C-alpha cells in the first residue's frame, strides 16, 4: 500500500508547477512575491506572499480555446488573474492521438499588468 501512495504523491507533484515574480508597491516597503501555481486538473492559483488570493479552474472538457478572468483583493489592491488555454492534438505515425494544452496566465494589480506566466 505504501508504494502505491508514494507513486500517487510523486505523480501529483509532477503535475504541479509554479512560476513567480516580484512586485514593489513603493521603495519603502518589501516587494510582494507573486506566484502562479498550476495544480492538477487544470487549476491555477495566484499566491501573494504565501496567501492564495485567487484560484480558478479551466473546464475539464473545453473547447480548442478557453479563457477565464477572476478578481480578488490583497492589501487593498485589486488583483485580477486572466488565463487562456489552447488545446491542440498531435497524431503519431501509429495513429494514436496526443492532447497538448498550452496555458498563459496574466496577473494585474489595479489594472496594471504585472506578469505573464506561460505553462
pLDDT of residue 65: 81
Encode the chain (119 residues) as per-residue pLDDT tens digits: 544 333 333 333 445 689 999 999 888 889 999 999 999 888 999 999 999 999 999 987 767 789 999 999 999 999 999 999 999 899 999 999 998 999 999 999 999 999 999 99
Q: CA 81 to CA 113: how far, in whole Å?
A: 10
pLDDT of residue 94: 93
CA-nearest of 54, 52, 41, 48 to 85 is 41
Helix, strand, coil content of the chain in percent (nearest 5): 10, 60, 25
Q: Which domain holds residue 14?
A: 2-118
Cα 39 to chain center, whole Å?
A: 7
* Radius of gyration from C-alpha coordinates of the chain: 17
Number of folded domains in the chain?
1
Amino acid at each position: 500500500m505504501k508504494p502505491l501512495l508514494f507513486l500517487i504523491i510523486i505523480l501529483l507533484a509532477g503535475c504541479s508547477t509554479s512560476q513567480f515574480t516580484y512586485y514593489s508597491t513603493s521603495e519603502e516597503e518589501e516587494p510582494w512575491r507573486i506566484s502562479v501555481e498550476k495544480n492538477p486538473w487544470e487549476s491555477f492559483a495566484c499566491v501573494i506572499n504565501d496567501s492564495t488570493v485567487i484560484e480558478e479552474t479551466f473546464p475539464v472538457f473545453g473547447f480548442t480555446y478557453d479563457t477565464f478572468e477572476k478578481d480578488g483583493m490583497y492589501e487593498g489592491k485589486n488583483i485580477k488573474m486572466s488565463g487562456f488555454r489552447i488545446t491542440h492534438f498531435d497524431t503519431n505515425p501509429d495513429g494514436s492521438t496526443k492532447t497538448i494544452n498550452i496555458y498563459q496566465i496574466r496577473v494585474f494589480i489595479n489594472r496594471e499588468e504585472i506578469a505573464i506566466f506561460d505553462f
